[in-house]
Structure 1
Amino acid sequence: MTPTKPGIVTVSLNSAIDQTLECPGFTAGAVNRVTSETRTAGGKAINVAAFLAGGDLPITATGFLGADNTQVFEALFQERGILDRCLRLPGSSRVNIKVVDRMGGTVTDLNLPGLQVPDGALQKLTETLDALARDNSCFVLSGSLPAGMQEDAYATLTARLRSRGAIVVVDTSGAPLKHAVAAKPDFVKPNVHELSELLGRALSDRTEVVRAARQLHATGIELVVVSLGAEGAIFVDGEGALLAVPPRVEVASTVGAGDSMVAGVLSARLAGRSLEECARYGTAFAAGKLVRVGPVPPSQERVQSLMRSVSIHSLSDA
């Protein structure tokens, strides 16, 4: 990936507000007391923008926001210096509620419905992307699709952006991912379940995962990263295949961990780093995020420290 113009644009079609409620001893069907509450702007592409902000390249966020609850997004953009090119649509962006019971070791998710995207909105977004492509080299299409949007939306946007010479990253799942990979983005990051679903077969062990990632790379996708959760991630490109295993860290929240890996790997890749350097940096960046709630990037000092503890294993024989 060699950028020809400065700037990264993240595209959020289904932005969300992540609301976390700390509720010791949470019991369904009973009155529960919440001890603390946090609200952060979310959605995968919004998270990626937040993780990348403050680096060497200007960051722009676009996509859709509900006009009724934009404040938390606008506050994030202003705080992190992210250029806001999001389209406002009638209604509210979805809210994802997590009820965290640290005493019981449980997390309960309550996901509210989100926006209904009106006719013509995708065309307006496409026009915005065309304009942004004149000054930005890289576009990150990340997250689920809102209700009423065609499953091939990411594929359509990928093909359009690639035709304009842009580098395209896709991180989604299900049918949108299946359509998108046919348009040959430069970088995809499925987890094992998503990769299995994409290829239509079970991936019973690590060897099968590596073969599947190589199969995806062979279709013309330059970089494939398969997340294995706490076990790390598999990285495949033209240089070969690697397994990167993160060091053990204290975990405050796993929300956005995959998005932080996308941000870390992408920033290293755009800087011209090798596959091993991208794997080490992206894994350390993701591990450093785990100690914070919300899309808060780790300091570069913390990332550099964690990089020394990332284990890299060659998978050339898999």
Structure 2
Amino acid sequence: MILTVTPNPSLDRTYEVPSLDRGAVLRATGDRVDPGGKGVNVSRAVAAAGVLTTAVLPLGGASGALIAELLGAQGVDVTAVTVAGQTRSNISLVEPDGTLTKINAPGPELTPEESALLLETVRTEAGEPAWIAACGSLPRGLPPEWYADLVARAREAGAKVALDTSGPALSAALQARPDLIKPNTTELAQAVGRPLATLGEVARAAQELRSRGAGAVLASLGADGQLLVSAEGTFHGTAPVAAVRSDVGAGDASLAGFLIAGGTGPGALASALAHGAAAVQLPGSAMPVPADLRPEAVRVTENPPPDHRLSAPATP
């Protein structure tokens, strides 16, 4: 069983538009409403694979109630922490070539009491799952050290923790030694304070974060695939994508695939790549089901060439 924690969930409304023209009336060619937030998406992808999952969420207002209803319909068990503020709604506009314009609302400000209750809820739920995936930005009211506290409590309960966040929250959480972190290249460059232009530079940055407390680093490289740096070695993988329809939640689907496959080694990396490639070919933030996956098309190699240049170098 995989438990997810999303401190700032959302109700995601996605519209497919022929083009994005500023100041014009846009007529959508397709639309959908999904429960959103990085950890929520991980739970949705885990449930789509037929694996048990529980989503711990602070929820408030009508949008919070709808998120719980939608997740329940998708096979996700929800443990809600009721908050006074209204859960946010986000809007995504997707063009035919996959270009995404996203408007994210700030979300409610959690009180100290709500923050403490959310942490205590995670601690009480942490005994059963093999993995806890703590994902996304922190809402107003939660300090950067909040994830570090969560990681420490979860590890005390015997659970492994995968962390997908960035900035000060990531830096603070490294001291609590999460078992896995999942940055993209920009977040990784920000964490080490230098640009990253090759696979070798990404691998060295990942090793630096491991020396600061991360057990393993699963780095998303966009069109260049993913790089896994762990005690088992350095592995790089790619998966072909016929056409990008929407990349909303694709990284979350990748993390779900990695954890479903055990959360360690090249086999888990291959699963992450298959899930991510399938997700970008689906509308909105739809999560892939097993029939969408093409594991035979995934390629994983150990010790990739360090001088291989990234198609999109990252800067801090």
TM-score normalised to structure 1 length? 0.89
Going from structure 1 to structure 2, the CA distance change for 1:293 and 1:72 (only over 3 Å counts) comes to farther
Q: 1:90 aligns with which of 75, 79, 84?
A: 84
SS of 1:158's equivalent?
Answer: helix
1:279 and 2:269 correspond: yes
Deviation string for 1:94-149 (max 9, x for gaps)? Answer: 2221223338x743322223111123011111221222123333211100011121
Going from structure 1 to structure 2, the CA distance change for 1:56 and 1:215 (only over 3 Å counts) comes to same
2:311 — aligned with what? none
1:3 — aligned with what? none
Q: 2:113 aligns with which of 120, 123, 129?
A: 120
1:20 and 2:36 correspond: no
Deviates more, 1:108-117 or 1:38-47: 108-117
1:63 — aligned with what? 57
Gaps of 5+ in 1: 1-6
Structure 1 residue 40, shift from structure 2 partner: 0.8
Q: 1:53 aligns with which of 28, 40, 47?
A: 47
Are 2:131 and 2:259, in contact at CA under 8 Å, matched by a contact in 1?
no
Identity of aligned residues (%): 34
Deviates more, 1:205-214 or 1:105-114: 105-114
Are 1:240 and 1:316, in contact at CA under 8 Å, matched by a contact in 2?
no
SS of 2:223's equivalent?
Answer: helix
Gaps of 5+ in 2: 307-316
Counterpart Cα distance in 2 of 1:159 and 1:193: 26
Deviation string for 1:4-50 (max 9, x for gaps)? Answer: xxx22100100012111233243212333334322111000000000
Q: 2:288 aligns with which of 293, 298, 303?
A: 298
1:202 and 2:192 correspond: no
SS of 1:226's equivalent?
Answer: strand
Displaced runs of 4+ in structure 1, greater than 4 A? 54-57
Counterpart Cα distance in 2 of 1:302 and 1:38: 19
CA RMSD of superposed structures (Å): 2.0
Counterpart Cα distance in 2 of 1:251 and 1:316: 25
TM-score normalised to structure 2 length? 0.90
1:152 and 2:145 correspond: yes
Structure 1 residue 167, shift from structure 2 partner: 0.6
Q: 1:221 aligns with which of 189, 214, 221?
A: 214
Counterpart of 1:232, as a letter, is G
Going from structure 1 to structure 2, the CA distance change for 1:250 and 1:204 (only over 3 Å counts) comes to closer
1:236 — aligned with what? 229
Counterpart of 2:64, as a letter, is T
1:38 — aligned with what? 32
